[in-house]
Amino acid sequence: MDNLIEIRWHGRGGQGAKTASLLLADAAFNTGKYIQGFPEYGPERMGAPIVAYNRISDTPITIHSNIYEPDYVVVVDDTLLDCVDVTSGLKKDGAIVINSKKDNETLLKSLKGYEGSVYKIDARKISEEALGRYFPNTPMLAAIVKVTGIMSDEDFLNDMVGSFKHKFAKKPEVIDGNMNALRMALDQIEKVK
């Protein structure tokens, strides 16, 4: 498993964290990588904390366990910061990406001294501007692609057009909005530290 990247997603049921992890797997697959995308299934309910995972590697992946020491963490809902230990096991040379409009100081305080890189993005604002509704997973997908650097912005956007055409075959009117959300996210992601 050469250049293995492990990512953990924290979201709430209904926000699309699982879908985002599968779309990330898709995008990485299309660049020729070996991938895993899998949610941790629990008693799933709208609003309940959920976890999903990605492994991305240059060579076949054989590990079939959850991820306890991720390289990256994505937090799709910042209310989880109060109730879930989102930086648990997160590598010091890794990064966390949070959907939040909190000021940097407040955000860092809630991360209990995590030493690695911290990024934030206001996925609500982007989603509501681009899609007219709150679907945080699309901006968060773009954010983690940017932070991990697994592919260029251009390759990512080209690939996602295809994915959205497939995913939204029955409602093509939302494709442009989703593409806009991705572009805005790539542009607006902010490094906190």
Partner 1 sequence: MSIRERLSGNEAAAFAMKQINPDVVAAFPITPSTEIPQYFSSFVDNGQVDTEFVAVESEHSAMSACIGAEAAGGRAMTATSANGLSLMWEMIYIASSLRLPIVMSLVNRAVSGPLNIHNDHSDAMGVRDSGWIMLFSENNQEVYDNLIMAHRIAENKDVLLPLMVCQDGFITSHSIENIELIEDDKVKEFIGTYKPDHFLLNEKEPMAIGPLDLQAYLFEHKKQQADAMRNAKKVILDVAKDFEKMTGRKYGFFEEYKMEDAEVVIVCMNSTAGTTKATVDKLRKEGVKAGLLKIRVFRPFPTEEVANALKNAKAIAVLDKADSLNGAGGALFEDVVSSMYVSNIHVPTVDYVYGIGGRDTTMKEIESVYRDLLKIVETGDIQNPYRYLGVRGDK
Closest CB 39 distance from partner 1, rounded Å: 7
| Rg, the chain, Cα only | 16
Distance CA 139, CA 124 (A): 9
State the minimum distance, in angstroms, from the CB of residue 169 to partner 1: 13
Q: In this complex, which beta carbon is closest to partner 1, that of residue 48 or of residue 63?
A: 63
Distance of CA 26 to the CA centre of its chain: 13
Nearer to partner 1, 22 or 75 (CB): 22
Which residue number, 35 or 126, has a Cβ lying nearer to partner 1? 35
- Residues 24 and 143 sit within 8 Å (Cβ to Cβ): no
Q: Which residues pair with 126 in a beta bridge?
A: none
Give the torsion through C-alpha atoms of 154, 130, 174, 78, to 10 deg: 90
Residues at the site binding partner 1, with contacts judged by CB under 8 A:
1, 22, 25-26, 29, 34-39, 41, 60-66, 68
Tokens of 159: 């690939």
Instruction: Give the residue with the Cβ less far from partner 1, 60 or 149.
Output: 60
Q: In the complex, what is the shortest distance from the CB of residue 30 to partner 1, in angstroms, rounded to a whole number?
A: 9
Q: How far is the CB of 69 from partner 1 (least distance, A)?
A: 10
